[in-house]
Amino acid sequence: MLTAAAVPAIGNGNGHGHGHQHGQKRVRVRPLSSQENLSPKERAFYRRARFETAADAMRAVASRGMTAEIYTE
């Protein structure tokens, strides 16, 4: 099961949708509050993972058979 939180519009504000500017928000994932027994690999994934889009985050989480909350930092 994949769970996604509401994510505000993502972009860099220049109308191009790609590229990185200082202070640009990145899409992140975190375990659901009900998940307590994470493996070391799962903890590492949640800690390091940053994505360009929410769709990229959803694909990465789903390909690992995990559930996650998606948010912007």
Q: What pLDDT is attached to residue 23?
A: 62
22 located within any domain = no
53 located within any domain = yes
Q: What pLDDT is attached to residue 4?
A: 54
67 located within any domain = yes
Predicted confidence (pLDDT) at residue 7 exceeds the cutoff of 50: no
Q: Which amino acid is at 29?
A: V
Domain total for the chain?
Answer: 1
18 located within any domain = no
Q: Domain residues for 34?
A: 27-72
pTM of this prediction exceeds 0.85 = no
How is residue 8 written in tokens? 């505000």
Q: What pLDDT is attached to residue 55?
A: 95
* Residue 72 and residue 25 in contact, taking contact as beta carbons nearer than 8 Å: yes
How is residue 10 written in tokens? 């993502």
Q: What pLDDT is attached to residue 12?
A: 47
Nearest to 64 by CA among 31, 22, 16: 31
1 located within any domain = no
17 located within any domain = no
* Residue range 12-61, pLDDT digits in tens: 444 445 555 556 679 999 999 898 899 999 999 999 999 999 999 999 99
